Structures are given as structure tokens and as C-alpha cells.
Structure 1
């Protein structure tokens, strides 16, 4: 089976899950090619090496490819006019129309690759701007199976063309039960929605993790931006440090707030006990999770849904203290596989103190967390949701516009 993945950029530091999905599909015998609407990042070669993606065919936007798209748009004038009409008709905001039209040359060049290479399946890894490629497939190539993913960002963005394509695609995937009602409200039939949790590679973290825990080690990970609330994590840590002098904090990730966060650590007198590691490889992330007794996730970002970083920390038997974001109850059973927190600094500091004073509970909850991830979020099992849908749809195909 030949599958074309359509995404915005690939690979991306914050989207390890995309790399994991594609590698697992290839391991299952699927012929996967990746097409991105945007240019590759400066660090893409490094990410390809770190994530062992050297054998994955990846096509990112370039000037020459956009020129080819423009040329194709000229010789396929009717298709070009129709997609422009579709864009204008289904976008209320001028800004969205402009962004969509800017992407149009790349969309047409990807579409040309699709019709030249004839994949069995085109999967829209994100449901917003990639949906414009979905429009062309549905209208002109109904013999190709089209599936789309609608995640938290897609649902928050409310890009109207994605709703039209979702209603007509063979299947709509999403990564949390909490998203289903919103997708149904868009007009997608319930039986055309497949909830498939984003899986993690359970082989990355072995059973020796518990023996490698460092006393008092706390870890948090994420982009260093305001909505991730790393500032609050540092304030919590300063309170914990006053009670437990052996405590230490590792912060994984980079972003515009890094300098301010480092200044805050100095002001609170805890800079000597905090490591700002920046963006690190997935291997290094796992190594830090294996050492951590506690993982804190304080994000209030609107688009959070069952973050993979929390799953990975759970797999490493870290006690996870996680903010109350949509659907988090599908991942954390409060007091059983971790703790769901309201975000109050004193509340979280007191919870950490309780955990440090009750090591036996740390072992119990950590083991529960790992077992839950192994049983419900093993990527080798979750990726089969996609493969099974594609195989069934190829037999009983039903995407039309």
C-alpha cells in the first residue's frame, strides 16, 4: 500500500509523534512518502538523523517546486479556478484567504506529484491548510482514498475548508474522545470518526527505569512560551527546594522565554539546582525521564490534548502532575496513574512534598502509569487503526465531493 502523508512541515522539533507514526508505518510494510506545504527547517537534517528518518522520502517546499506548481496551475487552468473559488467561498476571513492563496503553488505541485505517482491513500496529517489538497483529490481523483486528521489545533483554528473535506473524506481520525462531539458538530457522521490515540514507542524505555531514578529529580518539558507556564514550574520548585535541599529541576525545551526564566531562577536563588537543557534529542529526553521522580506539565495552551510528552514520562514511571486540559481524564486517572492539578502554585508544591515523603506511593503510581501506557498507547497497536481503516476503505471506498 502506498500512502502519501500531507503535513505543514516535516520533521519539526515539537512533532516527534509524526516521525514515530511514519517510522512505524514503514515497519509495518507501508510505503510512505511525506509532503510538506512549507520549507524545511534549518535543523531538519539534524532531526532526520536523530529520528532515523534517512530512508523516508520527504518533499518540502522549494522555489523550484512552487514554480512547477504555478506552471501546473496555468496548464490546468480550470482546476486552479475551481480551487480558488473553493478557498474564497469557504473562508470568512480575508487573512485566511490570503494565506491559502500563498500556499496554492505548493498545493498544486503536491497534487501534481499525487496524480503522477498514484498513491492508494492520501492522508492529511493536519486538517487545516492541507485540506486544500483534499479538495482536489475528492473532486478530480475519487479513486484515491482520502483520510484526514482533526486534532486540537485544527478544531481551535476552525478553518472552514477543513470542515467541508472532513464531511466528505473516507474517514476522520482524531486523537482523543473529547474531540468527537466537536467533530460531529461540524457535520461529520459519528460512524465516520475513528478515535486513535497517538501512541508512543514503548521499546524506547526499558524496565530498568525505576532503578535509575535520582532522588528529588523533577523534570518538565515543552516550548518555553507563556502558555506552557514554565515560570510557574520554577516558582513551585523554589518552594520545594526550601523543604527538600536535595531537589533538582531539569527543563527540556527552548523558546523565547528562556532568558527571562533563567533570570527568575537567579532571583529565586535556585539557579544552581536548575538545568536548562534546551532542545535535546528524543534519546536524551528519555534518559532524563528515566531519572526523574516527578514530571510537571502545567500548560494552559488551548490546543493541548493528551500530550505525548506526558505519556513518555508515564512510561518512564515518573509521577506526573498534569494541568486540567480537555480530555486529560482519558490519560490520567487522578491519584491512580498520576495527578490532575488545578495549577495553583502552593497546591502543586504541597503535592510534590507529599510524594517526596511517601516513596512507596511513588513506586505504586509510577508502575500504574507505565502499565496504562503499555496497554493503551503502544504505537505498534495504535498505528493499526490507520492501516485497518485504509485497507477496509480500499475495498469499500466512499470519499466523494
Structure 2
């Protein structure tokens, strides 16, 4: 047990999003413990970004400005040269943290020093989100169990299509030891790879850690505003402005066709994630090894995206059928969802998972009072169990004997469907 609390570095990479940045900063400065710093990594923005930072006048904030406009990966990599913490976490400029995230992390890292700490996030859709039916929506998943997981088991489950990559120790949903990050940078020459830094960090951290913590009690909030690159890809048929801007700056001509020959339908976000995973598996083959890929479980997950792309529903199904044929998967094993128009309002959902003490539900916030991710963090934090009620389960001994349910089965269980 360490005699002094570990020190945490939050990093917010940002570029010309000063309208949401202040709220993300606010959630970090509201921490119940003071053993942290915040690095705002400004990717050569207009002066308003610096003005937002300076308005806080906080000694905990260090503002770093890129000398020129960088790609997302290079900007995220550049920020690593400026962190000082024992553990590092990156969050988007429209994301947020719960007030006790450092308190919870400190408690867990005193018992399990040196392990990455990942968590399931809750989701908040800003009032300006590109999909009208989601504006002001909160999607909660709050539990009390913290698992100690075997990293090799998690990698195997992820490449078998049974574990979402966000449940690996990705830097976006985890506090990752800076020693692990620096080990990877020394070994590979850099830390972030390919297109999506969240996915590449998940794989790099997993292959450079024997074990990690995964908390079903959330520590952070995945915010989605009109600026969100990921949402602009997921809902490109509604508004692809942010995604196209990202493609241009990453110097990617088109994402319509995946690089891996086993895949097709690059316009589907889930296919893009799997393409990323396959590229990384090849890049780090000597360390990942020949983990068998179960395309059936991946396709079961991918086809669930069809209703989201309602106007291209048949294209999604056709892409899944093509991939099934290429990979010898029987389409009779793939359940195609109903083709129904997206609702004007989202249904209330509720589900429970007794093993992890998780309750999942969605609701619309009162946008007269909840206008930003900071407002949502204050409200939603009251739904989370305090640190003293967490239950730790060491599941490493089960790694060779248990199978995680498929991504689709996990989603249906959590939503009570």
C-alpha cells in the first residue's frame, strides 16, 4: 500500500470547441480529492479556447498549445509529453467526470497499485446533438462491482466478438499507469496507432498489462454534442460534417471500404471498429498471437446497427450477408432486427444485472436545468453508489473457464429485453 495517494492526469485534447470545453473542465475541477492535474491540449485553435481555460484561473490546469495543426493521433501523442501523473485519462471536450472519480480511483489503486482502471460509462446527449430524438437523453448504467480481469482473457474475448473494445483498458474509459504508456512508447516508437486512438490504446494497454480493473460503477460520462466525431460517423445519414472534417485532417480519402478483406460496409461504425481491431491484431501479431476470430459474433453485433441507418437498412443487411458468405457464417444464425422507422422519442428502458449489481435505464433530462455535461454530472452522480459500497471480485482464476456472452446478448440483458 502506498503511503501517499497516487497522482492523476486528466487530458482534454481540443480544437475550436470552446462552447463545450468549459463544461468538461468544470467536471474535473469539481473533484472531491485534489491529487490530480488537468492538461488542456489545444490543437492550434482560435483564441477563444485559451480564453476559456484562462477564465478558470486554476493552478491545476496546464494549457499546452500545439505549434501547428496536427492530426488527432499526433495531437493526442504530443499531449503525452506533458503529463506528470502516475495514471492518465483522456476525455473529450464534450465529456465529463463524476465528482468522486479521483476518490474512487485512489481507493482502488491503493489496494491494486499499478493496474489500469477501466469503467463502464454513462451517456449524455447534449441539447444540440445531431439526432433530435436523443437531445437531452441520459443513458445510465450504474453498478457496484469492480472486477480484476485477466488481460489475455479480455483480448481473446474482444477478438472473438464477445467483449466490446470499450471494456478493454482504453485510455478514454480508464486511468492507465503512465509507466505502461511509456513502456509502450519506448517499445513501439509511439503509443497511438491507425485511425482511432481509443481503440488502439485499448489493445496496446491490454498487451502490456497482465491484469486490469473494470468498474461497473461509472467514473466518467461519455458526452455527445453536435461536435462529436463518433456520432457524426454513426449518424452520417443525418449530419456527417464533423466526420468528414476528421477524415480530411487525418488524410483519409474514404472510409467506405474497410482495409481488411473479411469486411465490407465501412459506412457502418461497428464495421469500422472491427476493421481497426483487425489492423491492430496484424500490427501487434507477435504479442497478440493467433487469437481465433469469431466472425459470427461480430456479425450478430454489426447487424444490430441496421435500424440506426434506417434509410440504408437494406445496405447494412446486404453488407452483413456478404461478410457472412466471405467468412463461412450461416446467415440463419444471424437474427436480423425489425425494419422500423426510428422513433421521435426514445423509449424508457430498464434492466438489471444481479451479478454486477448494475441497474440500466434511460431518461430525458429537464433541459431547463440540465444544459451541459457538468449539469448532468451533478445530477447523475446522485445515482451512483459511494466508494464504501463497492464490491471487488477477482475473476482472473475464471479466465480460462468462462465465456463472456455475446455483445448482443449483453445489450439485451442490460436493457431488459
- Normalised by the length of structure 1, the TM-score is 0.31
Which of structures 1 and 2 has the bigger CA Rg? Answer: 1
Which of 1 and 2 has higher RCO (CA within 8 Å, sep 6+)?
A: 2
Structure having the larger proportion of residues in helix: 1
